[in-house]
Chains A and B, each alone.
Chain A
Amino acid sequence: AQKITQTQPGMFVQEKEAVTLDCTYDTSDQSYGLFWYKQPSSGEMIFLIYQGSYDEQNATEGRYSLNFQKARKSANLVISASQLGDSAMYFCAMRREYGNKLVFGAGTILRVKS
């Protein structure tokens, strides 16, 4: 069965600094997708970034990048130049090759300090 582990319940970062949110996963599948979503206090789920299991390059989307280490089964989200608006809950999720559902981790609350 798939499992996503986010070991940091909460993180603080100073504005304009970079922060890494950890995500490890467990699967026996060879093909899978890894996703990060942001959930602000207003509650919506916003897609941030995707990494495929066969992607050789780490994914990047603007200030978001994914530090993908397949052998370690980790897919950490790196946010560069943090902004106050980055304060939110961040969820890591995985999708198997066969099947449609996303399996989510417990999330990490990020607080950006000015």
Chain B
Amino acid sequence: EPEVTQTPSHQVTQMGQEVILRCVPISNHLYFYWYRQILGQKVEFLVSFYNNEISEKSEIFDDQFSVERPDGSNFTLKIRSTKLEDSAMYFCASESASGRYQETQYFGPGTRLLVL
């Protein structure tokens, strides 16, 4: 069964460093998402991406964050200068073509980011 994959599973970085989190969505999916979950808290939406551009972003997704689909398979989240409060689990999700409210978003296993 097709699944979303994410690398790395864990990343430790120093405050101020750049990190790139990678995702490979399900192959025929066209809508892509990043969410984050700070330890013990609810899952929060960061950004959605369709047709090579951001379709929606939250207030969390400030200038320190960017997303890219550098090729036909990868979808990346870059944090330019990490802060302590960026420590969280980051989930990538994808869904198929319609982008309608009935569509299910399938999540990857997550990248646990720790900023020291």
Report which A residues bind B (CB closer than 8 A).
31-33, 35, 37, 42-47, 50, 52, 91, 93, 95-107
The contact sample of 5 A-B pairs, CB cut-off 8 A, is: A42-B109, A50-B104, A91-B42, A93-B43, A106-B41
Beyond A44-B110, A47-B105, A97-B100, list 9 extra A-B contacts (CB 8 Å). A32-B101, A43-B109, A45-B107, A52-B101, A97-B101, A101-B58, A102-B35, A102-B45, A104-B42
Q: How far is the CA of A107 from the CA of B38 in the complex (A)?
A: 13
Report which B residues bind A (CB closer than 8 A).
31, 33, 35, 41-45, 48, 50, 55-56, 58, 89, 91, 93, 99-110, 112
Q: Is the CB of A33 within 8 A of B109?
A: no
Residue in A31, A43, A45 whose beta carbon sits within 8 Å of that of B101 in the complex: A31
Residue in B31, B89, B104, B106 whose beta carbon sits within 8 Å of that of A100 in the complex: B31
Q: Is the CB of B104 within 8 A of A47?
A: yes
Q: Is the CB of B91 within 8 A of A100?
A: no
State how many angstroms separate the Cβ of B9 from the closest Cβ of chain A.
9
State how many angstroms separate the Cβ of B70 from the closest Cβ of chain A.
21
Q: Is the CB of B107 within 8 A of A101?
A: no
Q: How far is the CA of A37 from the CA of B101 in the complex (A)?
A: 16
Q: Is the CB of B109 within 8 A of A100?
A: no
Q: How far is the CA of A93 from the CA of B89 in the complex (A)?
A: 18
Q: How far is the CA of A31 from the CA of B99 in the complex (A)?
A: 14
Q: Is the CB of A100 within 8 A of B33?
A: yes
Q: How far is the CA of A101 from the CA of B33 in the complex (A)?
A: 8
Q: How far is the CA of A103 from the CA of B45 in the complex (A)?
A: 7
Q: Is the CB of B99 within 8 A of A52?
A: no
Residue in B48, B99, B104, B109 whose beta carbon sits within 8 Å of that of A44 in the complex: B109
Q: Is the CB of A104 within 8 A of B44?
A: yes
Q: Is the CB of B106 within 8 A of A50?
A: no
Q: Is the CB of B102 within 8 A of A33?
A: yes
